[in-house]
A and B are shown apart, each in its own frame.
Chain A
């Protein structure tokens, strides 16, 4: 039956790990802005989307 104590310890260890991960994520600012990233990921990364044929990239 003492295996239960072991299980609880293991479970608590895993759960605690996730709690710490969450606290770290909040602390590092990952929850500060939840609006812009979903918009940003929809934008093209292409340096110059569809340049006209004869223009060269001047960036």
Chain B
């Protein structure tokens, strides 16, 4: 990677890069024809926005995109491939638009150029051509129209308010006509969503807060038109335009929070796009869709088994950590079944497919009904119940007002409409979106990405935090050497021998320091037991206590985290190897314990069981399958607990989906997230307690904002019932209440975020 960057004169990136690892081996180097699928015209169409003979524009999603130096580097992509004309990055959505000359380069070469500088483009077969989100543009247009109308209607209404009495008839008529002309586009264009959702909700016989809002808006507009046409007054059109304007601002908060959250992907993005199939002695790269049962796949180390298959070679080692959570790889013999989802370790293997890709057990795990999320968010339940009460209450009060003034028919109609106008829960509809939208945006900045703003309130109500172990509390990367007491030159020899093996413990030992050169000969490995060989002429034995004991003729104690090594004639010494733990996790867990019940649900064998048990106060369970994890979560829910499940992905996907809130932990942003409610960056996991307290803050802020807006509504309704709700009173009350609620929610949530970050 460095070579490509330096040769293109882009080494300035290292000057501004802070968080980026300086060098990483890209998958591109491991898999030279990974992007071959981009030569396919059908696939190309999914990436290309506009094509021409001079210039073709394509959009890629780059999960690794995250900082200013990424922008600097990627917008100078033309230096890596001369066929690239220009490139433009969108930091928030993690996309890059590349314009290239089709005569001088190809889409595949563009993707390879991206990969060569360390940004692997997401080559997801199910993506659709990425356009600019139209919804957001529309929202801006609606806000623009509503704001324009609001300002001008207010301008035309002020003379009337300032005068205190009707203006000269010719002016009043002119102003009324202008106001009407301005208000109609607001009703038809800007406010259209509210009426549409309200209609849809009523037709489906459900209740949303949009129903009373639409009712209030209709009352406002209808009453104003009636007043103007009958010459009774100037109407409430300024309040109407202002109300729509503020409501749309609330929507903008909500929509902003959603951006850059496109992390939801399917099982397909975990599998490779193409696999090598053995056909007549040669290996042919074939799109995954065309793999049929009976085909013989040739998979290289690091590749994932895409379909349930049977091993054709004599032996193979597969890593199923992602599926089962078990970190030790599984050794398979010829004829044994290799289910989909395993990663090949060691050397290339040949597998015969026995079930179509879409029918593998892995795919079934994903398509199981638990993942079709039906659990409602707490706020949806609450607000729909609330909307019922509100609508019934508003209509009831309007009727009461009408009855109160009954003998006077005109007055009673006026009071009734005035109640409907002022009872519009505009401030209420603003409180939750603004507070939750701000919270979601701030959490995203912090490294905790939610799928929906509503998740914040579910988080606030959690009572139990359940953790997965592998990949969550421990690092997914594998084991690391904790301690050993071998002399340095012996340690070098052991590491040199360990480099010959693919077992995770050997790999951990070899990787604990750069392996020194040394002549290795006569290596014998017994899979799962140990390895022997000669390093620089000295015999080295490395492995389990039983293996090393047998090889050296001694009896060694058996401890589950001890690996033994003997060099030359010396007595064997233990090497302690443990899964690498995330830093500061222990203190984070004791933080959580102060407020929440916590438990550990691991799919792994009980290594280090005592330590974990102490940390979790005895609430630990090992060797759980994905199904029993799900059951464990369900059992807690049956006991009245609300569970936050924190896991790494697939093997606890069921538990993530079933829990009130499921968080997937990810160390790179390009992670795979089946059915979770949010993704939290691995290095931010220790701050989970802070995230939860921020969620509780959001709940308090919404309660405060609700209280404030209910107070405004009460004042308005009192005025309306007394028959004193003048247009001027509304014109003051409505914007003031909307602005307090927006300011309060957004301000408090931003202020609170500063405390979480520190």
Is the pairing of A and B real? yes
Where the two chains meet, the residues of A that have a C-beta atom closer than 8 Å to any C-beta of B are 4-5, 8, 11-12, 15, 19, 22-23, 26-27, 29, 31-36, 39-40, 42-44, 47-50, 57-59
Quick one: closest B residue to A34, CB to CB? B92
Contact A31 B137 (CB under 8 A): yes
Contact A12 B136 (CB under 8 A): no
> A26 contacts which chain B residues (CB < 8 A)?
137, 140-141, 144
Stretch in contact with the other chain, from B68-76, B455-463, B678-686, B742-750 = B68-76
B79, CB-defined interface residue at 8 Å: yes
> B75 contacts which chain A residues (CB < 8 A)?
40
Q: How far is the CB of A47 from chain B (nearest CB, A)?
A: 8
> B132 contacts which chain A residues (CB < 8 A)?
29, 32
Give the complex CA separation of A32 and B255 in angstroms.
Answer: 12
Contact A32 B9 (CB under 8 A): no
Interface string of B364-397 (1 = CB under 8 A from A): 0000000000000000000000000000000000
Could you write out 13 A-B pairs with CB less than 8 Å apart? A22-B144, A22-B148, A26-B140, A32-B90, A32-B132, A32-B133, A32-B137, A33-B91, A35-B90, A36-B92, A40-B71, A58-B9, A59-B8
Q: A12-B152, A33-B93 are in contact. List 9 more A-B contacts (CB 8 A).
A: A8-B178, A15-B148, A32-B133, A33-B92, A35-B92, A36-B91, A40-B71, A44-B12, A49-B15
Quick one: given A19-B144, A57-B9, are A31 and B136 in contact (CB under 8 Å)? Answer: yes
Contact B91 A35 (CB under 8 A): yes
Contact partner of A39 (CB less than 8 A), chosen from B8, B71, B140, B148, is B71
> A33 contacts which chain B residues (CB < 8 A)?
90-93
> A50 contacts which chain B residues (CB < 8 A)?
12, 15
Contact A32 B16 (CB under 8 A): no
Give the complex CA separation of A36 and B140 in angstroms.
Answer: 19
Q: How far is the CB of A35 from chain B (nearest CB, A)?
A: 4
B230, CB-defined interface residue at 8 Å: no
Contact B7 A32 (CB under 8 A): no
Where the two chains meet, the residues of B that have a C-beta atom closer than 8 Å to any C-beta of A are 7-9, 12, 15-16, 68, 71-72, 75, 79, 89-93, 132-133, 136-137, 140-141, 144-145, 148, 151-152, 155, 171, 174, 178, 260
Q: How far is the CB of B219 from chain A (nearest CB, A)?
A: 27
Contact partner of B9 (CB less than 8 A), chosen from A4, A12, A48, is A48
Quick one: given A27-B137, A29-B132, A58-B7, are A36 and B89 in contact (CB under 8 Å)? Answer: yes
> B148 contacts which chain A residues (CB < 8 A)?
15, 19, 22
Q: Is the interface of B mostly helix, strand, loop or mixed?
A: helix
Give the complex CA separation of A51 and B152 in angstroms.
Answer: 56
Contact B144 A32 (CB under 8 A): no
Give the complex CA separation of A46 and B137 in angstroms.
Answer: 34
Contact B92 A5 (CB under 8 A): no
> B141 contacts which chain A residues (CB < 8 A)?
23, 26-27
Contact A31 B140 (CB under 8 A): yes
Contact A48 B90 (CB under 8 A): no
> B90 contacts which chain A residues (CB < 8 A)?
32-33, 35-36
> A8 contacts which chain B residues (CB < 8 A)?
174, 178
Contact A5 B174 (CB under 8 A): yes
Quick one: given A31-B136, A48-B9, are A39 and B91 in contact (CB under 8 Å)? Answer: yes
Q: How far is the CB of B739 from chain A (nearest CB, A)?
A: 22
> B260 contacts which chain A residues (CB < 8 A)?
35
Q: How far is the CB of B91 from chain A (nearest CB, A)?
A: 4
Give the complex CA separation of A33 and B256 in angstroms.
Answer: 11
Give the complex CA separation of A12 and B52 in angstroms.
Answer: 43
Quick one: closest B residue to A19, CB to CB? B148
Quick one: closest A residue to B75, CB to CB? A40
Contact B16 A43 (CB under 8 A): yes
Q: How far is the CB of A25 from chain B (nearest CB, A)?
A: 9
Quick one: closest A residue to B93, CB to CB? A33
> B171 contacts which chain A residues (CB < 8 A)?
4
Give the complex CA separation of A59 and B145 in angstroms.
Answer: 48
Quick one: closest A residue to B168, CB to CB? A1
Give the complex CA separation of A39 and B145 in angstroms.
Answer: 30
> A36 contacts which chain B residues (CB < 8 A)?
71, 89-92
Give the complex CA separation of A39 and B89 in angstroms.
Answer: 11
Contact A43 B72 (CB under 8 A): yes
Q: How far is the CB of A31 from chain B (nearest CB, A)?
A: 5
Contact A59 B92 (CB under 8 A): no
Give the complex CA separation of A27 and B151 in angstroms.
Answer: 22
Give the complex CA separation of A1 and B68 in angstroms.
Answer: 58
Give the complex CA separation of A50 and B9 in angstroms.
Answer: 11
> A39 contacts which chain B residues (CB < 8 A)?
68, 71, 91
Q: How far is the CB of B703 from chain A (nearest CB, A)?
A: 31
> B144 contacts which chain A residues (CB < 8 A)?
19, 22-23, 26
Give the complex CA separation of A44 and B76 in angstroms.
Answer: 12
Q: Which of B8, B79, B144, B145 has the most CB of A within 10 A?
A: B144
Give the complex CA separation of A23 and B145 in angstroms.
Answer: 9
Q: How far is the CB of B729 from chain A (nearest CB, A)?
A: 26
> A19 contacts which chain B residues (CB < 8 A)?
144-145, 148
> A58 contacts which chain B residues (CB < 8 A)?
7, 9
> B8 contacts which chain A residues (CB < 8 A)?
59
Contact A42 B136 (CB under 8 A): no
Contact partner of B79 (CB less than 8 A), chosen from A5, A15, A44, A59, is A59
Contact B9 A42 (CB under 8 A): no
> B16 contacts which chain A residues (CB < 8 A)?
43
